[in-house]
Structure formats: C-alpha cells, structure tokens
Amino acid sequence: MAIEVAGKQITTNKIAIKDVFAEDMWFNIPDYQRPYVWGEDQISTLLDDIAHAAENTPKSQYFLGSLVLHCQDKEHEETAYVENAVLDGQQRLTTLYLLHAVIRDKTTNSSRKSSCDKVIFQEGNPDDGIPERMRVEFAIRSEVAKFVDKYIKPKEATLQIDELKKIIATSKDVSIRNMANAILIMQKWIDDENNTSVDVLFPYLRKNVVLVYVASGELEDAFRLFTVLNDRGIKLRNSDILKAHNLKEVSTPTKQAEYAKFWEELEGELGEDFDQFLSYIRTILVKEKARYNLLKEFEDSIYAPKVYNQRTKKYERTTPLLTKGDATFDLIESYKGHFDKVFDGNNYTITNNWAFDNLVSVLQDTALSDIWIPSLLVYRKNFGDTKIYEFLKLLDNKFSGDWIARETPTTRIEAMNAILKKIEEVAKLDADAEVKIDTLFQSSVFKFNTQEFLNQLEHSTIYGRRFARYILRKVDFLLDAPLYSERRNSYGQMTVEHVLPQTPKDDSQWNKDFTEEEKEEWTHKLGNLVLISRRKNSGQGRLDFSDKKAKYFTNSIETFPNSLRIMQEPQWTITELKQNHNQLINIIKAHYGI
C-alpha cells in the first residue's frame, strides 16, 4: 500500500509490517540521518517483547513506534514510484530490514524465504509500475550501500559469520559496524532454543506488529514534524536537527554527500559528546552564556541574531554570525582539527617535553567544567602552536583562580568569554604575531582575586571541596617541572586521602604526635592531603604512618609526585605537615605569580 500524499497534505495511519515492506513501498535513509546505532540491548529487547506478545496475546496488535516520512516522486528506468525518505524511525526500520535478511537465510520454509527476499530486494515489473531496486536504500554514504549489497542482498549473505566478525572489529563506519553486529545478535537469538521459534515469531511480526507513520510531500513540513516529535520526547539530539537544517542549504549534491559523511564520522567518533563539541562552536561564535538549548542557540543567536534598537524599542535582525550550509560544516571541520590536535596527547614538540599534554590532562581529569576549551581552540586557530603552552598556563590559572576564589558560575563563564573576545581583538591588530601574543598575555582578562585564592588554599580546609583533586593534580604537575620528561595520562582511579587520618585510633601514634587543636586545624588542609590510585580504605587509612606507608600507600600512589615525596618522610608530625603545606603553597604562589 503506497502512501499517497497530495500537495501540502500531512497524512497519518497505522501500518502492519507486511505492508511496510509491500512491493509498492520504498524507503531511503537520507544522508542527514544519524548512523545506525542499535546494539544488543535494543535488538534483544525488541525480539523478546515481540516474542512475548506473539505467545501471550497472539490476536492483539503490538505497537512498535512511529515513522516520520517525506514522500517523494521518483522514476527508475521510466517506472514512476513514490519513495519515502525516513526522517525519524530509521533505527527500527533498519532493524526490521536486517531481521528479514537473517530470517531469510536461517529458515528452511521456502515460502517464508521468498517473502523475506522480496522485502530485501524487489525485482522490477514495469507493467505493474514496480521498479527494480533495494527496498531500503542508504544514502548516508556509499560504504553502507556496498555493505548491504554484499552482506544483506544476496541469499545466504548474512551467514558470512567470520567476515562479519572481522567487520565489527575493524570497520571505522559506525553504521556498518553496528549492522554487522546486529546480524550476529539476531542469529544468536534465533539459534537459542529457549527463545520463541521463528514459526511463531515471524507470522506475528508480519501481521500483528504495527507502526504509525506521519507523512508529508513537503520537505519543510516533514522537517517540522521531525522537530515537533523531537520536542515531545522522541530521542533525537540537537545535532541531528542541526545537521538536517544545514544539509538542505549545502551548495551542491556532491558536497552534501561529503558533508553528510563527515558529520556521520564525527558523530561516530564523539558519540554522546557530539552535542558538547557543537556547544564549543556556539560559545566561540556567540561569546555569551548559553540561555537556551543548542538548536535554539544556533537558530536565534548565530543564524538569525537580533539586537535591541533603543530608538524603536524593538528587536531587529542583524548580520548572521555564520550562514547555514557549507560555511557551518567548514567551520565545524576546522575546529575539529584544532580540537584533535590539542587533545591527542602527542604535543611533545611544543616545548620539547610533555608539559602541554600533562597540563591538559590535569584540566580534563579534574576541572569543574570545560568552559576553558573554546578559548584554547580559538587561540590555536589564530596563532597555531606559537606560545600555546604559555597561553594554556595563563588560561588554566585564570580558570582555576576564579574557581578556587569562589567566583560564581556566571562570573567564571563571562571571564572565559572575555578571553575569547580578547583573542579575536588582538588577532585583528596591525602587527606581527609576536606583538599580538604579547599584547594578549599582558591583558587584564587573566587577572583574578589572588588574595581570596590564596586564602582558600593556605588558611582554609579544602578536603571535600570540589577543587581538592584539581589542586593536588596541579601540585603534581608543578613538581614535575622543569623537565616534564614523563607523560602523565589520565588515572583510572584517583581519590583524595589524608596522611594524618580524620579519626585516628585512641591508642595510635597520631594522638601522641598531634594535639586535638592541631588535628582540628590541619587534618583537612592542603599539606595533609595526597592522591591515591584506589578507593579509600577507612581501616587502613587509620594506621600509624609507618604501617600506612607499607600497607596502604605503597601500591596506591603510582606516579603521583607529591604522594611519592611524602612517602620518603620517616615520620609525619605537625612539623612535617606544616613544612609540606608551606612548601606547596610557595610552589603554587610562584606558578600563579602571587
């Protein structure tokens, strides 16, 4: 039953799976779609739920979900037909498509095998207006189409187990990797004798499982439906809609395919962090605190910004910060290059040591937020690696200075945006790069409340504060100076521990070496804290210093320089604690220029 949509009409109806894949139904997964991402949890749950319904309520319908479709008139070898571009629901549709291929190759029922084969590929019949083509075509990228042609279209193609396993292990394409994995998951489910037999599952799937489609012949209306359904809870990311809006504006079909491929690869690489990366682009362009969701920020603050006219008392359109289409994709691609270089951990040549990468690692592991990242990307865009380590030190000091000095989140965000603005301001100066950079470094945007910063570290208790791990990692970083000969990667486990325990045993040496007043004042201060690479153990943490070193700290401090240094102390009394505290404060003061 082909879907018929006249003019700007929007149509909706319920449709059984056998009719979804009828001989006059054709689907296209457009290049603005997300990759296929379903895995074992989603696929096994789907099969289990349908099987349960087939066995327990065999006469009832099972609602699988919805499809949002853009219906387009097409022609193939003079045969006209309607193709349905899938704007939403492609994960379910692709899974059902793959399931028919797997059942085709697993069943011995010739009629069932024929039914499944027609779902995968339709032989042409010009007399009946039936084109010859794949039932579902993947315009996402050519590699996916090639995979379908080899591992889905031919009979018994899904039985190439070893090749599919190799694809799962080696393919860089997200859709291909997950499609190959889906085939193996489905085969495993069907082969499990504890599961419902295909003889029960398949007829129920074809006749009783239904989808609801919402279709339009106008692309704009279809996109609007796509957006509305997203707002009402269908899990689409802001980046999905942003991609769709921009692909429509790309200058040529060739570039559209290239950008779609780039976007899919980027999405596959960044995963759930993709929206966050796009938020960096938003910050770079707008340089103000975000007020709305990512999509609305791009639409209202970047593509169609408005300014308030004091004379007319109205908001009026102003020059876009960026245009949709090619310019957006090019900008994202440019900053992704800078992002990769900054965070690849291979920047030894910047200072002929690992200082840059190690400081980035400190921030990545322990910073309260990532509001410092856009400024670092913009600096690299304008000045490359020239003095980028010196810039990172200034940026980190400002970021951590405001944080530890207890500035509000809004103030901290505004401070980072002020640095963004200053970078772009000095980049426009009529001077050589060195003068521009020196002008930037001397700017007041890097100043912070040094008095309150120092007060928090020197005189206040910091245990339990959100910056405690950060400042201890920072101390480790500073103790590595000036050689930075070892690259400090992220630690799998990192806990703040006390040297003098919080609650020493009554008969411990601690109670002989520290008065109650000293314990109350010094237990939670910087000088008494270290990082360990394990979870806290309250029992061993209360041991006397010599036993604590031998039984608790020895295998738990890995390469934390500050922790290693303290372990060299023969004892830990108020004298050693104060000396360590003062030494760390002096190191911090020297680095922060206080």
Encode pLDDT of 254-274 as tens digits. 898 899 889 988 988 998 899
> For 134, which DSSP code?
E
Nearest-angstrom CA–CA distance, 179 and 36:
7
Q: How many Cβ atoms sit within 10 Å of the Cβ of residue 424?
A: 14
Q: Which residue(s) pair with 29 in the sheet?
A: 138
pLDDT at 126 over 80: no
The pLDDT of residue 381 is 98
> Which residues touch 123 (CB under 8 Å, ≥6 apart)?
130, 132
Instruction: Quick: pLDDT tens for 133-166.
Output: 888 998 756 789 899 999 999 999 999 999 999 9
Q: Give me the residue label for tokens 């315009």.
A: 139
Q: Name the more confident of 222 and 405.
A: 405
The pLDDT of residue 140 is 57
Place 201 in a pLDDT band, splitting at 50, 70 and 90: very high
Place 450 in a pLDDT band, splitting at 50, 70 and 90: very high
Q: Name the more confident of 2 and 41.
A: 41
Q: Name the more confident of 421 and 233.
A: 421
In the Cβ-directed half-sphere of 582, how many Cα atoms lie within 13 Å? 6
Nearest-angstrom CA–CA distance, 216 and 9:
6
Are 152 and 101 a contacting pair, CB within 8 Å? yes
Burial class, 303, CB count within 10 angstroms (exposed 0-12 / middle 13-18 / buried 19+): middle
The pLDDT of residue 233 is 41
> Which residues touch 232 (CB under 8 Å, ≥6 apart)?
none
Q: pLDDT above 70 covers what percent of the chain?
A: 91
As given in the structure block, the two tokens for residue 444 are 């007041």
Q: pLDDT above 90 covers what percent of the chain?
A: 62
Instruction: Quick: pLDDT tens for 532-575.
Output: 877 665 556 678 888 887 776 666 556 688 888 888 899 999 99
pLDDT at 376 over 90: yes
> Which residues touch 144 (CB under 8 Å, ≥6 apart)?
138, 173, 175, 176, 179
As given in the structure block, the two tokens for residue 251 are 């200058």
Asked which of 61-70, 199-208, 276-285, 364-373 is least confident by mean pLDDT, the reply is 61-70
Mean pLDDT of the chain: 89
> For 125, which DSSP code?
B
The pLDDT of residue 234 is 41
In b/e form, how buried is each residue of 81-114, taking b as 16+ CB within 10 angstroms?
A: bbbbbbbbbbbbbbbbbbbbbbbbbbbeeeebbe
